[in-house]
Structure formats: structure tokens, C-alpha cells
Amino acid sequence: FSQGVALRRAKRRIAIGFAGGHMAINGLEEFKKLEIERDNLETEIDGLYEYLTQDGMPGVSGSLVDADGFPRADLDLYAIRKARHRLACAQTDHKEVMRKIEEALVAIHAGNRVAVPRATPVAAPAPPGGEEAAEAARIALPPVPFALIDEVAE
């Protein structure tokens, strides 16, 4: 049941709308839902990892068979395989949720962007020597400094 819920959540798209230059409330609510989902997935991943790395357990990728190739009798192989599968699914879901959170953050902050005017470069006077000399002079000049540093403190 929980895998179906996670799959449905992973397929859900972020619904972020903008009205009149400010973000609509549903974008922030969706972000909060994604954040809760991420926390739940991280808790589940931590629990599965702890279960698989307990003393006597084979770990996340350890062998489930003995040296002769027979299944180990001291382990519950079904439970370990199920936990490994759920761990892989949870990690995939986590990546998807993190991608959606990133998209949501970009969309949330896109409405708050401020346009900053850029200064256009001033053309230098043409030096004598033709177009080639003017092009070389323009390329060789460093940009105009935007700050002057007097001192650096540790």
C-alpha cells in the first residue's frame, strides 16, 4: 500500500501559479507537502539502512548465500530482500522528491526576481593603426573595476 502512495506522489506535478507578480498560496503549500514527504522518506531510508546493517546482517549489498552457494540459514532472506527492495525504491522516490523541491524553489523565487540593469560597455577611442589595432586594444583592456579593496583582515 505504501509503495502505491509513494508512486502516486512521485507522479504528481507541482502546481505553482503566479497572479499579479506574486506567488499564489498553493505553490508554498505544495512545497511544504514535498518537504514533509522528503522527511518521511529520509526517516524510512534511515530505518531500513539501520535494519540491514545490524550485527549479523549482510548489509545493503552483502551476499545472501554461503561459500557453497546455498542460502544462509541464519538470515530471513525474504525480509532482507524486501528491505533492500524498499530501500532502493525509497532512494529513487527521494531523488524524485528532491528534484520537485528544486523546481518548486525555482518557481517560488522566480516571482520575486528583480531586474537589474546592466551597464553597457563604453567603446574605447580608436587608436591609430586601423581596425586590427582597435580590435586588439579592445580585447586587451580589462573591465572597469567595480570595487576597491583597501585592506584584508583575518
Listed in sequence order, the residues at least 6 apart from 48 whose beta carbon sits closer than 8 Å to its beta carbon are: 83, 86, 87, 90
Ordered DSSP codes for 84-113: HHHHHHHHHHHHHHHHHHHHHHHHHHHTT-
Q: What is the pLDDT of residues 84-128, one digit of tens each?
A: 999 999 999 999 999 999 998 888 887 777 777 777 666 555 555
pLDDT greater than 80 at residue 58: yes
pTM flag (> 0.95): no
Radius of gyration of the chain (CA): 29
pLDDT greater than 50 at residue 5: no
Q: What pLDDT is recorded for position 53?
A: 94
For residue 98, which of 34, 16, 28, 15 has the smallest C-alpha distance?
34
CA torsion sign for 92, 29, 21, 19 is positive
* AA letter at 131: E
Query: Quick one: what percent of the chain has pLDDT higher than 70?
Result: 68
